[in-house]
Amino acid sequence: MPITPDFKSIHSQDWEINFMQCTPNGDLRYTELCNLLQLTAASHSESGGFSFVDMQQFDQAWVLSRMRLEITKLPKWKDIITIKTWINTLENSRSVRAMEVAVNGEKCVGAETFWAVFNTKTRRPEVMALPHDHCEKYPNDRATLLPFSKIDINETQEMVFERQVVLSDLDIVNHVNNVKYLEWCMDLVDEAIIMKPQIKDLDMNFLKELSLKDIVQIHKSQADNKMAFSITKDDKAVFALEFTIQQ
């Protein structure tokens, strides 16, 4: 698709939170928050001429590799939230994108995301084929206090659940959507931590893709105010999650 006439390097989009996106206390689910961030990033890439459809001309797609969220307060049912996003860096096959969520003009969530260009036939990263010089980059404008990071997976983590990938876990790239990894782990968190809510930041590493009927194991550990999860297939890590619990 061509670049839209109203394209801006700093993209902003409003969303109304509906009841299906919320936990029983009316807070936006962490998974739905991540969904909205992805949808906003997709909207920005579409207006900029490097959407999934555009990139599929070259058998390419964006895949999320790392994500960090810093949460001051979760949006609630019926809130109108504004998500603002911009690109920090975009070079070769890699891009860092910043995102902020605000309610009534007040920032409540900051996110830093790391994306890779992925060939959907070879299933390997490669240099982005589409031009992007029209999109200004803002390397010094960060949305989080700390950057995303590599999570050290604790080998002593306890295996707490095993599951098989089903069709509803897959997205248009024909692999498990990254939000599904988070959903599987959050379903194993004590509900009191979710309902208060007590989570003030989340770090996620997406390491390998999963396909239909893959069997995975979910592992969990906790030390002080840190909780961590990893998902493995054939004893190899495919996902890691770590978050801080507000005491």
* Mean pLDDT of successive 10-residue stretches along the chain, which has 247 residues: 89 98 97 97 94 93 95 98 97 96 98 95 93 94 96 86 97 92 97 94 96 97 93 96 92
Nearest residue to 244 via CA among 168, 169, 166, 145: 145
| Boundaries of every domain in the chain | 1-148, 149-247
Architecture of domain 1-148: Roll (3.10)
Task: Report whether CATH 1.20.1250.20 matches the domain 149-247.
Answer: no
How far is residue 219's CA from residue 240's CA, in Å, rounded to a whole number?
A: 9
pLDDT for the residue 93: 93
Q: Strand 106-119 vs strand 199-206: parallel, antiparallel, or unpaired?
A: unpaired
| H or E element that contains 223 | strand 215-223
Q: Are 61 and 20 in contact (CB under 8 A)?
A: no
pLDDT for the residue 21: 98
Nearest residue to 111 via CA among 202, 22, 177: 202
How far is residue 13's CA from residue 110's CA, in Å, rounded to a whole number?
A: 15
pLDDT for the residue 1: 59
149-247: same fold as 1-148? yes
Q: What are the backbone angles phi and psi of residue 86, rounded to the nearest 5°?
A: -155, 165
Neighbouring residues of 16: CB distance < 8 A, sequence distance ≥ 6 = 78, 79, 80, 81
pLDDT for the residue 159: 95
